[in-house]
């Protein structure tokens, strides 16, 4: 019996590199919006309606129109190129849900801290979290309509950031704007990793 030779593929299939990114920031800063705007798949959301039970617990000053809040995470995915896929994990913004942060942060290459200039102090817990864990991050100032605009150097000074921490403007509702922020974070994280490798 004559058997033909099985054909071998000319080249091995190349699997894309998967990178995990956190999207953090204060309550109502736009985390769910950014993940939803940029994800190429329908984002997984764990939002619940704000109720009277949260009165006195959730500070909604400046974001009075907000009706829901993330209680666990948001999840989305975006393909940057044939060999690079980003997996996005939006963190809950309220203190009482912070117990999930350590789980979400495992394996993340870095984080985007979304800033709302109407409630800039809300960024400090996120910034402290990533600084304490030596996690690369950048600050993306979400340009809300009607909010006062500040220069990026003013935001950097107000948040007492190291000069190496990038600060960008973004519109979390726009896919291209969100994508630019994510690419900037990946570039920043890889640059820091290379610098640390040369030193260490």
d(CA 200, CA 176) in angstroms, rounded, equals 36
- Is the predicted pLDDT of residue 10 greater than 50, yes or no? no
pLDDT band at 50 (very low <50, low <70, confident <90, very high): very low
More confident of the two residues 73 and 148: 148
Other beta carbons within 10 angstroms of residue 169's beta carbon come to: 16
Cα 191 from chain centre = 18
What was the pLDDT predicted at 57? 53
| Averaged pLDDT of the chain | 82
Mean pLDDT of 42-71: 54
Count helices and strands in the chain by DSSP H and E runs: 5, 7
Tell me the per-residue pLDDT of 162-173, one tens digit each, with 9 for 90 and over.
999 999 999 999
Is the per-residue pLDDT at 48 higher than 60?
no
For residue range 86-104, what is the model confidence (pLDDT) as tens digits?
A: 999 998 766 666 677 888 8
Q: Strand pairing partners for 76? A: 88
Tens digit of each residue's pLDDT (9 = 90 or more) over 112-165 = 999 999 889 999 999 999 999 999 999 999 998 777 888 999 999 999 999 999
Strands 84-90 vs 68-81: parallel, antiparallel or unpaired: antiparallel
Q: Taking the CA atoms of 190, 194, 199 and 200 in sequence, report the sign of the dihedral they define.
A: positive
- Looking at the domain 17-199, which fold is it? Rossmann fold (3.40.50)
pLDDT band at 13 (very low <50, low <70, confident <90, very high): low
Parallel, antiparallel, or unpaired: how do β-strands 137-142 and 110-115 relate?
A: parallel
- Ranges of each domain in the chain: 17-199
**Is 120 exposed, middle or buried (CB count within 10 Å of its CB: 0-12, 13-18, 19+)?**
middle
Query: Length of the chain in residues, anyone?
Result: 200
């Amino acid at each position: 019996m004559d058997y033909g030779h099985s054909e071998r593929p000319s080249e091995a299939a190349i699997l894309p590199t998967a990178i995990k990114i956190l999207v953090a920031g204060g309550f109502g800063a736009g985390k769910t919006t950014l993940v939803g705007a940029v994800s190429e798949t329908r984002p997984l959301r764990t939002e619940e309606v704000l109720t009277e039970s949260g009165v006195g617990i959730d500070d909604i000053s400046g974001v009075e129109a907000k009706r829901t809040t993330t209680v666990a995470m948001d999840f989305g995915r975006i393909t940057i190129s044939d060999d690079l896929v980003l997996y996005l994990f939006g963190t809950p913004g309220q203190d009482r849900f912070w117990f999930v942060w350590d789980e979400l942060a495992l394996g993340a290459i870095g984080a985007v801290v979304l800033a709302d200039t109407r409630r800039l102090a809300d960024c400090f817990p996120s910034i402290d979290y990533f600084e304490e864990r030596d996690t690369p991050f950048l600050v993306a100032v979400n340009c809300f309509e009607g909010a006062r605009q500040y220069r990026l150097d003013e935001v950097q000074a107000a948040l007492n950031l190291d000069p190496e921490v990038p600060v960008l403007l973004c519109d979390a509702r726009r896919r291209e704007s969100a994508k630019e922020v994510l690419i900037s974070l990946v570039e920043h994280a890889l640059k820091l990793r290379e610098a640390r490798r040369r030193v260490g």
